Structure 1
Amino acid sequence: MLVTRPFATRQLPFFLTAPTACPYLEGRMERKIFTRVDGEQTAHLNNILTHAGFRRSQSILYRPACEMCSACKSARIPVSEFKPSRTQRRVLKRNAGLLRLPRPAEAMPEQFALLSRYLNARHGDGDMAGMDFFDFASMIEDGAEHTELVEYRDAHGQLIACVLVDRLIDGFSLVYSFFAPDRDKDSLGAYIILDHIERARAENLPFVYLGYWVQGSPKMDYKAHYKPLEVLEPEGWRTLQPPSHAQERSKADITDKN
Protein backbone atom coordinates (compact mmCIF):
# COMPACT_ATOMS: atom_id res chain seq x y z
CA MET A 1 0.00 0.00 0.00
CA LEU A 2 1.33 3.43 -0.92
CA VAL A 3 -0.11 6.67 0.38
CA THR A 4 1.38 10.04 -0.45
CA ARG A 5 1.13 13.31 1.42
CA PRO A 6 2.77 16.59 0.41
CA PHE A 7 5.60 17.86 2.63
CA ALA A 8 7.25 20.98 1.21
CA THR A 9 8.38 19.97 -2.30
CA ARG A 10 8.45 16.20 -1.81
CA GLN A 11 5.98 13.35 -1.54
CA LEU A 12 6.15 11.21 1.59
CA PRO A 13 5.27 7.54 0.96
CA PHE A 14 3.44 5.51 3.61
CA PHE A 15 3.31 1.71 3.67
CA LEU A 16 1.12 -0.82 5.49
CA THR A 17 2.58 -3.94 7.06
CA ALA A 18 1.07 -7.40 6.79
CA PRO A 19 -0.85 -8.65 9.85
CA THR A 20 1.26 -10.22 12.62
CA ALA A 21 0.54 -11.42 16.14
CA CYS A 22 0.04 -8.55 18.58
CA PRO A 23 2.79 -8.43 21.24
CA TYR A 24 0.49 -6.73 23.77
CA LEU A 25 -2.95 -8.37 23.55
CA GLU A 26 -3.19 -12.14 23.25
CA GLY A 27 -5.17 -13.49 20.33
CA ARG A 28 -5.16 -10.25 18.34
CA MET A 29 -3.37 -9.26 15.16
CA GLU A 30 -1.59 -5.99 14.53
CA ARG A 31 -0.75 -3.91 11.47
CA LYS A 32 1.26 -0.72 11.23
CA ILE A 33 1.40 2.16 8.79
CA PHE A 34 4.92 3.53 8.45
CA THR A 35 7.25 5.79 6.53
CA ARG A 36 10.98 6.32 6.42
CA VAL A 37 12.49 9.71 7.28
CA ASP A 38 15.96 10.97 6.54
CA GLY A 39 17.77 14.14 5.63
CA GLU A 40 17.17 17.68 6.74
CA GLN A 41 13.39 17.24 7.22
CA THR A 42 13.71 14.46 9.80
CA ALA A 43 13.13 16.64 12.87
CA HIS A 44 10.24 18.48 11.20
CA LEU A 45 8.49 15.26 10.19
CA ASN A 46 9.13 13.68 13.58
CA ASN A 47 7.36 16.60 15.24
CA ILE A 48 4.39 16.55 12.88
CA LEU A 49 3.87 12.79 12.90
CA THR A 50 4.44 12.33 16.65
CA HIS A 51 1.58 14.75 17.23
CA ALA A 52 -0.50 12.64 14.85
CA GLY A 53 0.13 9.47 16.86
CA PHE A 54 3.29 8.13 15.23
CA ARG A 55 6.34 6.74 17.02
CA ARG A 56 9.99 6.77 15.90
CA SER A 57 12.18 3.66 15.68
CA GLN A 58 15.50 4.43 14.00
CA SER A 59 14.63 6.10 10.69
CA ILE A 60 11.09 4.69 10.66
CA LEU A 61 8.00 6.51 11.90
CA TYR A 62 5.07 4.16 12.47
CA ARG A 63 1.56 4.06 13.90
CA PRO A 64 -0.80 1.16 14.64
CA ALA A 65 -3.36 0.60 11.90
CA CYS A 66 -5.19 -2.49 13.14
CA GLU A 67 -8.48 -3.35 11.45
CA MET A 68 -10.39 -4.66 14.49
CA CYS A 69 -8.70 -2.93 17.41
CA SER A 70 -7.85 0.59 18.57
CA ALA A 71 -6.38 -0.21 21.99
CA CYS A 72 -2.98 1.40 21.27
CA LYS A 73 -3.10 5.10 22.05
CA SER A 74 -0.29 7.65 22.01
CA ALA A 75 0.34 8.86 25.56
CA ARG A 76 1.92 11.96 27.03
CA ILE A 77 2.29 13.56 30.46
CA PRO A 78 1.24 17.23 30.82
CA VAL A 79 4.18 18.46 32.87
CA SER A 80 2.52 21.42 34.61
CA GLU A 81 -0.32 19.22 35.92
CA PHE A 82 1.73 16.22 37.03
CA LYS A 83 2.01 15.55 40.75
CA PRO A 84 4.10 12.55 41.82
CA SER A 85 2.49 9.93 44.01
CA ARG A 86 4.01 8.90 47.32
CA THR A 87 5.71 5.94 45.61
CA GLN A 88 7.07 8.17 42.85
CA ARG A 89 8.44 10.63 45.41
CA ARG A 90 10.30 7.75 47.03
CA VAL A 91 11.76 6.78 43.65
CA LEU A 92 12.99 10.35 43.12
CA LYS A 93 14.53 10.45 46.59
CA ARG A 94 16.18 7.04 46.21
CA ASN A 95 17.92 8.10 43.00
CA ALA A 96 18.64 11.72 43.87
CA GLY A 97 22.40 11.08 43.84
CA LEU A 98 22.50 9.99 40.19
CA LEU A 99 24.16 12.27 37.66
CA ARG A 100 22.28 12.93 34.42
CA LEU A 101 24.58 13.35 31.39
CA PRO A 102 22.98 14.15 28.00
CA ARG A 103 25.24 12.89 25.21
CA PRO A 104 25.12 13.04 21.41
CA ALA A 105 23.29 10.09 19.85
CA GLU A 106 26.48 8.13 19.19
CA ALA A 107 26.82 4.48 20.20
CA MET A 108 29.60 3.65 22.67
CA PRO A 109 30.84 0.22 23.87
CA GLU A 110 30.04 0.98 27.52
CA GLN A 111 26.43 1.75 26.64
CA PHE A 112 26.17 -1.40 24.52
CA ALA A 113 27.51 -3.52 27.39
CA LEU A 114 24.76 -2.15 29.64
CA LEU A 115 22.10 -2.81 26.99
CA SER A 116 23.33 -6.40 26.56
CA ARG A 117 23.04 -7.05 30.30
CA TYR A 118 19.58 -5.53 30.32
CA LEU A 119 18.32 -7.57 27.36
CA ASN A 120 19.79 -10.83 28.65
CA ALA A 121 18.10 -10.36 32.01
CA ARG A 122 14.78 -8.85 30.94
CA HIS A 123 14.13 -9.74 27.30
CA GLY A 124 16.19 -12.84 26.51
CA ASP A 125 13.47 -14.21 24.22
CA GLY A 126 12.51 -10.87 22.65
CA ASP A 127 13.08 -9.46 19.20
CA MET A 128 16.14 -7.50 20.34
CA ALA A 129 17.94 -10.47 21.92
CA GLY A 130 21.29 -11.15 20.29
CA MET A 131 21.86 -7.58 19.10
CA ASP A 132 25.47 -6.87 18.18
CA PHE A 133 27.19 -3.51 18.41
CA PHE A 134 26.33 -2.60 14.83
CA ASP A 135 22.62 -3.23 15.53
CA PHE A 136 22.95 -1.04 18.61
CA ALA A 137 24.63 1.72 16.61
CA SER A 138 21.75 1.64 14.10
CA MET A 139 19.21 1.85 16.91
CA ILE A 140 20.94 4.88 18.42
CA GLU A 141 22.16 6.77 15.37
CA ASP A 142 19.76 6.05 12.47
CA GLY A 143 17.14 8.76 12.15
CA ALA A 144 18.61 10.66 15.09
CA GLU A 145 17.89 14.37 14.69
CA HIS A 146 17.58 16.57 17.76
CA THR A 147 18.22 13.33 19.65
CA GLU A 148 20.28 12.61 22.77
CA LEU A 149 21.37 9.46 24.56
CA VAL A 150 21.02 10.48 28.19
CA GLU A 151 23.28 8.61 30.62
CA TYR A 152 22.76 8.19 34.36
CA ARG A 153 25.84 7.52 36.49
CA ASP A 154 26.24 6.85 40.19
CA ALA A 155 28.63 8.56 42.60
CA HIS A 156 31.44 6.27 41.44
CA GLY A 157 30.93 7.18 37.78
CA GLN A 158 29.42 3.81 36.91
CA LEU A 159 26.89 3.85 34.06
CA ILE A 160 23.64 2.38 35.37
CA ALA A 161 20.94 3.66 32.98
CA CYS A 162 20.42 5.22 29.55
CA VAL A 163 17.50 6.62 27.60
CA LEU A 164 17.29 7.65 23.96
CA VAL A 165 15.37 10.93 23.81
CA ASP A 166 13.99 12.98 20.93
CA ARG A 167 13.56 16.68 21.61
CA LEU A 168 10.27 17.85 20.09
CA ILE A 169 8.99 21.40 19.80
CA ASP A 170 6.79 20.88 22.87
CA GLY A 171 8.62 18.30 24.96
CA PHE A 172 10.71 15.16 25.21
CA SER A 173 9.82 11.89 23.51
CA LEU A 174 11.33 8.89 25.32
CA VAL A 175 12.26 6.47 22.55
CA TYR A 176 13.93 3.62 24.45
CA SER A 177 15.46 3.13 27.89
CA PHE A 178 17.63 0.43 29.46
CA PHE A 179 19.31 0.06 32.82
CA ALA A 180 21.29 -2.18 35.15
CA PRO A 181 19.13 -5.27 35.74
CA ASP A 182 20.61 -5.83 39.22
CA ARG A 183 19.16 -2.53 40.49
CA ASP A 184 15.47 -3.46 40.48
CA LYS A 185 14.90 -1.94 43.91
CA ASP A 186 15.88 1.48 42.54
CA SER A 187 13.04 1.52 39.96
CA LEU A 188 15.35 3.05 37.36
CA GLY A 189 12.80 2.86 34.55
CA ALA A 190 10.34 4.90 36.59
CA TYR A 191 13.09 7.30 37.63
CA ILE A 192 14.02 8.04 34.01
CA ILE A 193 10.44 9.12 33.31
CA LEU A 194 10.17 11.17 36.50
CA ASP A 195 13.52 12.83 35.87
CA HIS A 196 12.46 13.84 32.37
CA ILE A 197 9.27 15.36 33.76
CA GLU A 198 11.51 17.49 35.99
CA ARG A 199 13.84 18.20 33.09
CA ALA A 200 10.93 19.31 30.88
CA ARG A 201 9.60 21.52 33.67
CA ALA A 202 13.01 23.18 34.06
CA GLU A 203 13.12 23.89 30.32
CA ASN A 204 9.49 25.10 30.11
CA LEU A 205 8.48 22.21 27.85
CA PRO A 206 4.85 21.19 28.35
CA PHE A 207 4.92 17.43 27.64
CA VAL A 208 6.80 14.17 28.05
CA TYR A 209 5.78 11.61 25.41
CA LEU A 210 5.76 7.93 26.45
CA GLY A 211 4.89 6.13 23.23
CA TYR A 212 1.77 3.94 23.36
CA TRP A 213 -0.50 3.07 26.23
CA VAL A 214 -2.41 -0.14 25.46
CA GLN A 215 -5.62 -0.68 27.33
CA GLY A 216 -5.77 -4.20 28.75
CA SER A 217 -2.03 -4.88 28.39
CA PRO A 218 -0.16 -5.63 31.65
CA LYS A 219 3.06 -4.54 29.91
CA MET A 220 1.70 -1.03 29.50
CA ASP A 221 -0.21 -0.57 32.77
CA TYR A 222 2.68 1.37 34.30
CA LYS A 223 2.10 4.38 32.03
CA ALA A 224 -1.30 5.04 33.61
CA HIS A 225 0.48 5.58 36.95
CA TYR A 226 1.73 8.99 35.72
CA LYS A 227 -1.29 11.16 36.41
CA PRO A 228 -2.76 12.94 34.67
CA LEU A 229 -1.97 11.04 31.47
CA GLU A 230 -3.26 12.28 28.13
CA VAL A 231 -4.05 9.86 25.30
CA LEU A 232 -4.70 10.64 21.65
CA GLU A 233 -8.22 9.88 20.44
CA PRO A 234 -9.70 10.59 16.98
CA GLU A 235 -11.10 13.85 18.35
CA GLY A 236 -7.78 14.90 19.88
CA TRP A 237 -5.85 14.58 23.13
CA ARG A 238 -7.90 13.84 26.26
CA THR A 239 -7.13 13.02 29.87
CA LEU A 240 -7.25 9.30 30.59
CA GLN A 241 -9.95 8.66 33.17
CA PRO A 242 -9.48 6.08 35.93
CA PRO A 243 -11.77 3.04 35.68
CA SER A 244 -15.09 3.33 37.45
CA HIS A 245 -15.94 1.14 40.43
CA ALA A 246 -18.27 -0.84 38.18
CA GLN A 247 -15.45 -1.49 35.72
CA GLU A 248 -13.16 -2.54 38.57
CA ARG A 249 -15.80 -4.96 39.89
CA SER A 250 -16.30 -6.37 36.39
CA LYS A 251 -12.54 -6.87 35.99
CA ALA A 252 -12.37 -8.57 39.40
CA ASP A 253 -15.25 -10.88 38.47
CA ILE A 254 -13.49 -11.89 35.26
CA THR A 255 -10.25 -12.51 37.15
CA ASP A 256 -12.04 -14.64 39.75
CA LYS A 257 -13.73 -16.72 37.04
CA ASN A 258 -10.40 -17.35 35.34
Structure 2
Amino acid sequence: MRSDHVRLFQTLPHACGYYPGRTAQNLVIDPAAPQLDRLYGAALDHGFRRAGGHLYFPHCPSCHACTPCRIDVANFKPDRSQRRCLKRNDDLIVRECMAGYNSERHALYSRYLRTRHPGGGMDEAEASDFRRFLTAPWSPTVFLELHEGERLLAVAVTDVCITGISAVYTFYDPDEHERGLGTFAILQQIELAKRRGIPWVYLGFWIENHPKMDYKRRFKPLQVRTAEGWVDLKRD
Protein backbone atom coordinates (compact mmCIF):
# COMPACT_ATOMS: atom_id res chain seq x y z
CA MET A 1 0.00 0.00 0.00
CA ARG A 2 1.48 3.33 -1.04
CA SER A 3 0.31 6.68 0.28
CA ASP A 4 0.33 8.24 -3.23
CA HIS A 5 -2.35 5.75 -4.29
CA VAL A 6 -4.81 6.48 -1.51
CA ARG A 7 -5.61 9.47 0.66
CA LEU A 8 -4.99 9.35 4.41
CA PHE A 9 -6.86 11.52 6.88
CA GLN A 10 -5.96 12.33 10.47
CA THR A 11 -8.75 12.44 13.01
CA LEU A 12 -9.18 15.20 15.55
CA PRO A 13 -7.94 14.42 19.09
CA HIS A 14 -10.38 12.32 21.09
CA ALA A 15 -10.40 10.52 24.44
CA CYS A 16 -8.10 7.51 24.55
CA GLY A 17 -9.95 4.24 25.02
CA TYR A 18 -7.08 2.66 26.98
CA TYR A 19 -5.62 5.33 29.25
CA PRO A 20 -7.85 7.78 31.16
CA GLY A 21 -6.74 11.37 30.78
CA ARG A 22 -4.93 10.81 27.49
CA THR A 23 -6.04 11.87 24.05
CA ALA A 24 -5.64 9.83 20.88
CA GLN A 25 -5.59 10.40 17.13
CA ASN A 26 -5.82 8.01 14.21
CA LEU A 27 -4.77 7.91 10.59
CA VAL A 28 -7.73 6.75 8.49
CA ILE A 29 -7.65 5.53 4.90
CA ASP A 30 -10.13 7.49 2.79
CA PRO A 31 -13.42 5.66 3.55
CA ALA A 32 -14.75 6.71 0.13
CA ALA A 33 -11.88 5.05 -1.74
CA PRO A 34 -13.41 2.63 -4.27
CA GLN A 35 -10.70 -0.03 -3.80
CA LEU A 36 -10.89 -0.60 -0.05
CA ASP A 37 -11.54 -4.31 -0.53
CA ARG A 38 -8.31 -4.64 -2.53
CA LEU A 39 -6.36 -2.45 -0.11
CA TYR A 40 -7.43 -4.33 2.99
CA GLY A 41 -4.84 -7.10 2.98
CA ALA A 42 -1.98 -4.65 2.43
CA ALA A 43 -3.43 -2.36 5.10
CA LEU A 44 -3.35 -5.21 7.62
CA ASP A 45 0.29 -5.82 6.75
CA HIS A 46 0.97 -2.13 7.49
CA GLY A 47 -0.69 -2.40 10.90
CA PHE A 48 -4.11 -0.94 10.10
CA ARG A 49 -7.32 -2.24 11.65
CA ARG A 50 -10.99 -2.13 10.65
CA ALA A 51 -13.75 -0.57 12.73
CA GLY A 52 -17.00 -0.43 10.79
CA GLY A 53 -16.18 0.92 7.34
CA HIS A 54 -12.94 2.58 8.43
CA LEU A 55 -9.36 1.33 8.25
CA TYR A 56 -7.33 3.14 10.88
CA PHE A 57 -3.93 3.25 12.55
CA PRO A 58 -3.14 4.97 15.88
CA HIS A 59 -1.14 8.15 15.31
CA CYS A 60 -0.82 9.84 18.69
CA PRO A 61 1.86 12.57 18.92
CA SER A 62 2.92 11.81 22.49
CA CYS A 63 2.23 8.08 22.81
CA HIS A 64 3.22 5.00 20.81
CA ALA A 65 1.87 2.30 23.11
CA CYS A 66 -0.46 0.67 20.55
CA THR A 67 1.60 -1.88 18.63
CA PRO A 68 0.12 -3.95 15.77
CA CYS A 69 0.46 -7.67 16.42
CA ARG A 70 -0.20 -10.91 14.59
CA ILE A 71 -0.01 -14.65 15.27
CA ASP A 72 2.31 -16.84 13.21
CA VAL A 73 -0.25 -19.50 12.30
CA ALA A 74 2.11 -22.18 10.97
CA ASN A 75 4.21 -22.19 14.13
CA PHE A 76 1.50 -21.59 16.72
CA LYS A 77 1.14 -24.19 19.45
CA PRO A 78 -1.42 -23.72 22.24
CA ASP A 79 0.03 -23.50 25.71
CA ARG A 80 -1.32 -25.42 28.69
CA SER A 81 -3.95 -22.82 29.54
CA GLN A 82 -5.16 -22.67 25.94
CA ARG A 83 -5.35 -26.47 25.75
CA ARG A 84 -7.50 -26.42 28.88
CA CYS A 85 -9.70 -23.80 27.22
CA LEU A 86 -10.14 -26.06 24.19
CA LYS A 87 -11.10 -28.97 26.42
CA ARG A 88 -13.55 -26.84 28.44
CA ASN A 89 -15.35 -25.89 25.25
CA ASP A 90 -15.23 -29.16 23.34
CA ASP A 91 -19.02 -29.39 23.68
CA LEU A 92 -19.53 -26.28 21.55
CA ILE A 93 -20.48 -26.24 17.88
CA VAL A 94 -18.50 -23.76 15.74
CA ARG A 95 -20.36 -22.44 12.70
CA GLU A 96 -18.89 -20.27 9.96
CA CYS A 97 -21.79 -17.96 9.03
CA MET A 98 -22.51 -15.05 6.74
CA ALA A 99 -21.95 -11.72 8.44
CA GLY A 100 -24.91 -9.54 9.20
CA TYR A 101 -27.58 -8.49 11.62
CA ASN A 102 -30.23 -10.68 13.18
CA SER A 103 -32.18 -10.31 16.40
CA GLU A 104 -30.41 -13.17 18.19
CA ARG A 105 -26.94 -11.75 17.50
CA HIS A 106 -28.10 -8.26 18.44
CA ALA A 107 -29.56 -9.43 21.76
CA LEU A 108 -26.26 -11.16 22.65
CA TYR A 109 -24.24 -8.13 21.54
CA SER A 110 -26.38 -5.80 23.69
CA ARG A 111 -26.07 -8.03 26.77
CA TYR A 112 -22.31 -8.23 26.33
CA LEU A 113 -21.89 -4.46 26.05
CA ARG A 114 -24.14 -3.72 29.01
CA THR A 115 -22.11 -6.10 31.17
CA ARG A 116 -18.58 -5.52 29.92
CA HIS A 117 -18.69 -1.84 28.96
CA PRO A 118 -21.34 -0.14 31.11
CA GLY A 119 -21.52 3.61 30.60
CA GLY A 120 -19.04 3.44 27.73
CA GLY A 121 -21.37 4.92 25.16
CA MET A 122 -21.92 1.61 23.40
CA ASP A 123 -24.04 -0.15 26.00
CA GLU A 124 -27.38 0.79 24.42
CA ALA A 125 -26.59 -0.48 20.94
CA GLU A 126 -29.33 -0.18 18.34
CA ALA A 127 -29.55 -2.38 15.26
CA SER A 128 -27.91 0.39 13.24
CA ASP A 129 -24.99 0.50 15.72
CA PHE A 130 -24.50 -3.25 15.31
CA ARG A 131 -24.36 -2.99 11.52
CA ARG A 132 -22.22 0.15 11.47
CA PHE A 133 -19.56 -1.14 13.88
CA LEU A 134 -19.25 -4.82 12.94
CA THR A 135 -19.76 -4.92 9.17
CA ALA A 136 -18.85 -3.01 6.03
CA PRO A 137 -20.13 -3.57 2.48
CA TRP A 138 -16.59 -4.02 1.11
CA SER A 139 -15.21 -6.17 3.93
CA PRO A 140 -14.66 -9.96 3.56
CA THR A 141 -16.32 -10.72 6.89
CA VAL A 142 -17.62 -13.97 8.33
CA PHE A 143 -19.16 -14.54 11.74
CA LEU A 144 -17.80 -17.51 13.65
CA GLU A 145 -20.70 -18.50 15.87
CA LEU A 146 -20.20 -20.63 18.96
CA HIS A 147 -23.28 -22.64 19.97
CA GLU A 148 -24.17 -24.82 22.91
CA GLY A 149 -26.84 -26.90 21.21
CA GLU A 150 -29.07 -24.28 19.63
CA ARG A 151 -28.10 -21.53 22.09
CA LEU A 152 -25.78 -18.86 20.71
CA LEU A 153 -22.94 -18.21 23.15
CA ALA A 154 -20.50 -16.09 21.15
CA VAL A 155 -19.81 -14.43 17.81
CA ALA A 156 -16.28 -13.79 16.57
CA VAL A 157 -16.37 -11.12 13.86
CA THR A 158 -13.65 -12.27 11.49
CA ASP A 159 -12.31 -10.67 8.31
CA VAL A 160 -10.76 -13.17 5.92
CA CYS A 161 -8.21 -11.79 3.47
CA ILE A 162 -5.91 -13.88 1.28
CA THR A 163 -2.80 -13.12 3.33
CA GLY A 164 -4.29 -12.64 6.77
CA ILE A 165 -7.31 -13.05 9.03
CA SER A 166 -8.28 -10.13 11.23
CA ALA A 167 -9.92 -10.78 14.59
CA VAL A 168 -12.14 -7.71 14.52
CA TYR A 169 -14.35 -8.14 17.58
CA THR A 170 -15.80 -10.92 19.73
CA PHE A 171 -18.88 -10.71 21.91
CA TYR A 172 -20.26 -13.48 24.08
CA ASP A 173 -22.66 -14.45 26.83
CA PRO A 174 -21.34 -12.65 29.95
CA ASP A 175 -22.74 -15.43 32.17
CA GLU A 176 -20.33 -17.92 30.56
CA HIS A 177 -17.12 -16.19 31.67
CA GLU A 178 -15.61 -19.41 33.06
CA ARG A 179 -15.44 -20.89 29.57
CA GLY A 180 -12.89 -18.35 28.36
CA LEU A 181 -14.87 -17.71 25.18
CA GLY A 182 -12.63 -14.85 24.06
CA THR A 183 -9.59 -17.13 24.07
CA PHE A 184 -11.57 -19.96 22.48
CA ALA A 185 -12.70 -17.64 19.68
CA ILE A 186 -9.10 -16.72 18.82
CA LEU A 187 -8.14 -20.39 18.80
CA GLN A 188 -10.97 -21.02 16.32
CA GLN A 189 -9.78 -18.14 14.14
CA ILE A 190 -6.32 -19.73 14.10
CA GLU A 191 -7.92 -23.02 13.01
CA LEU A 192 -9.82 -21.21 10.27
CA ALA A 193 -6.56 -19.70 9.03
CA LYS A 194 -4.93 -23.15 9.03
CA ARG A 195 -7.77 -24.67 7.01
CA ARG A 196 -7.50 -21.93 4.41
CA GLY A 197 -3.71 -21.81 4.30
CA ILE A 198 -3.58 -18.22 5.58
CA PRO A 199 -0.30 -17.37 7.36
CA TRP A 200 -1.36 -14.70 9.86
CA VAL A 201 -4.09 -13.90 12.36
CA TYR A 202 -4.06 -10.19 13.17
CA LEU A 203 -5.12 -9.35 16.73
CA GLY A 204 -5.17 -5.58 16.35
CA PHE A 205 -3.01 -3.72 18.83
CA TRP A 206 -0.94 -5.01 21.72
CA ILE A 207 -0.13 -2.71 24.64
CA GLU A 208 2.60 -3.98 26.90
CA ASN A 209 1.50 -4.50 30.53
CA HIS A 210 -1.98 -3.13 29.84
CA PRO A 211 -4.51 -5.25 31.78
CA LYS A 212 -6.92 -5.47 28.85
CA MET A 213 -4.40 -5.94 26.05
CA ASP A 214 -1.38 -7.84 27.34
CA TYR A 215 -3.18 -11.21 27.03
CA LYS A 216 -2.26 -11.22 23.34
CA ARG A 217 1.34 -12.12 24.11
CA ARG A 218 0.12 -15.58 25.17
CA PHE A 219 -0.54 -16.53 21.54
CA LYS A 220 2.99 -17.55 20.58
CA PRO A 221 4.81 -16.97 18.38
CA LEU A 222 3.50 -13.41 18.20
CA GLN A 223 4.92 -10.77 15.90
CA VAL A 224 4.76 -7.01 16.46
CA ARG A 225 5.22 -4.26 13.90
CA THR A 226 8.07 -1.84 14.50
CA ALA A 227 9.66 0.91 12.42
CA GLU A 228 11.81 -1.83 10.86
CA GLY A 229 8.82 -4.03 10.01
CA TRP A 230 7.41 -7.17 11.64
CA VAL A 231 9.58 -8.84 14.28
CA ASP A 232 9.01 -11.67 16.74
CA LEU A 233 7.98 -10.51 20.17
CA LYS A 234 10.58 -11.57 22.70
CA ARG A 235 9.49 -14.67 24.55
CA ASP A 236 8.86 -14.52 28.30
TM-score band w.r.t. shorter chain: over 0.9
Report the alpha carbon displacement of residue 25 of structure 1 after superposing the two structures with TM.
Answer: 3.0
Give the direction of change, closer, same or farther, for the CA distance of 1:241–1:25 in structure 2 (3 Å limit): farther
Would you say 1:216 and 2:209 are equivalent positions? Answer: yes
- Match 1:184 to one of 177, 191, 210: 177
Report the alpha carbon displacement of residue 26 of structure 1 after superposing the two structures with TM.
Answer: 4.1
Give the direction of change, closer, same or farther, for the CA distance of 1:105–1:79 in structure 2 (3 Å limit): same
Would you say 1:49 and 2:43 are equivalent positions? Answer: yes
Identity within the alignment, %? 38
Q: 1:56 is paired with a residue of what secondary structure?
A: strand
- The normalised TM-score by structure 1 is 0.85
- What number of residue pairs does the alignment pair up? 235
Report the alpha carbon displacement of residue 145 of structure 1 after superposing the two structures with TM.
Answer: 2.3
Give the direction of change, closer, same or farther, for the CA distance of 1:93–1:25 in structure 2 (3 Å limit): same
Q: Is the 8 A contact 1:36 1:59 kept in 2?
A: no
Question: Counterparts of 1:152-231 in structure 2 under 5 Å?
Answer: 152-154=146-148, 156-231=149-224
Note the alpha carbon deviations across 1:67-106, whole angstroms, 9 max, x for none.
1221111110001111111110000111112111122221
Note the alpha carbon deviations across 1:112-171, whole angstroms, 9 max, x for none.
0000111111111223121111211222332442111221111x2110000111111222
Q: Counterpart of 2:41 in structure 1: which amino acid?
A: N
Could you tell me how far apart the structure 1 residues matched to 2:49 and 2:124 are?
24
Q: Larger relative CO (CA 8 A, sep 6+): 1 or 2?
A: 2
Could you tell me how far apart the structure 1 residues matched to 2:166 and 2:80 are?
25
Note the alpha carbon deviations across 1:6-35, whole angstroms, 9 max, x for none.
43xxxx322112223322234433211112
For residue 20 of structure 1, what is the aligned residue in structure 2? Answer: 14
- The normalised TM-score by structure 2 is 0.93
Q: Counterpart of 2:3 in structure 1: which amino acid?
A: R
For residue 141 of structure 2, what is the aligned residue in structure 1? Answer: 147
Give the direction of change, closer, same or farther, for the CA distance of 1:32–1:168 in structure 2 (3 Å limit): same
Q: Is the 8 A contact 2:134 2:169 kept in 1?
A: no
Q: Is the 8 A contact 2:44 2:164 kept in 1?
A: no
Q: 1:199 is paired with a residue of what secondary structure?
A: helix
* Worse-superposed segment, 198-207 or 33-42: 33-42
- Match 1:5 to one of 3, 20, 29: 3
For residue 80 of structure 2, what is the aligned residue in structure 1? Answer: 86
5+ unaligned residues in a row in structure 1: which ranges? 244-258
Q: Counterpart of 2:97 in structure 1: which amino acid?
A: R
Could you tell me how far apart the structure 2 residues matched to 1:114 and 1:35 are?
31
Q: Cα RMSD over matched residues? A: 1.8
For residue 96 of structure 2, what is the aligned residue in structure 1? Answer: 102
* Worse-superposed segment, 130-139 or 13-22: 13-22
